[in-house]
Chain A
Amino acid sequence: MKPGESAIISGFTDFELSVKLMEMGCLPGASIRFNFSAPLGDPVCISVAGYELSLRMEEAKTISILN
């Protein structure tokens, strides 16, 4: 995803992580927006469920999206 882009979550590739992510509001069907990344590209900041969440790339990659 590119900075400023939004997408809808369709699913997850890591079960354990998915549970944590969902608790934090990253639900299937929810809209997320990619805000910016740290200077080294990792971690990234997204907007979800009305607030800003930072994720490591390895965590973010487990979120499947459809545009």
Chain B
Amino acid sequence: MKNDYLWDKTGSDPEITKLENALSVFRQKDLSPPEIGIPSTIADGRAKRPFHKLFSFGVVSFAGLTAVVFGLSIFVMIRSGNVEMVNTDLPPGVETTESISAAEVSPMPEVGSGSTMAEAPSADANKVVFASRKPAAHRKSRSRTLKNQVRHLAAENNVRLKPGVKSKVVLTEEEKYAVEQLMLGLSITSSNLKMVKDKANGIRENEISK
């Protein structure tokens, strides 16, 4: 066997030539890379389904969820506007209290917080729910009493509660008794002094009129 023929086909080698002729059937005819065939089902799917429809189910469900939560929040807002004002008068002598200021309360106590719909994109649901609320209210504790909610609503709606309705200062029994007794004594004293003053003023007016 001559190596030159194998290397660059120079010269001749009868044995190699014989082998080449026998294997000519398997000779490569095209130098371009072969085509890789894609199964038809996959190819069709890619061609037929557009990109935005891939998430259709998620988008619809999210939109539906948002609408439901928003509707519930509106419903609660409307309902909460009809809460009856509560008179929180204290017994006499104990009403040493502070005036009402805008209380911190969640205007939407239990519903629509997104907590029941946390499975969906919960962060997004919460954002949508509280879009119409004051951001501060969202952060308030849900453990507020009904009384505080009433006061907050009164402040929001510029509603005046009855005079004497004041926020309570928690007093001990001894403090209550002390204040009651002191106010009773001062009330009697001031009544008498006022009477004396009125009489003196009345006499003065009579003298002036004369």
The judgment on whether A and B are partners is no
Residue positions of B touching A, CB distance < 8 A:
none
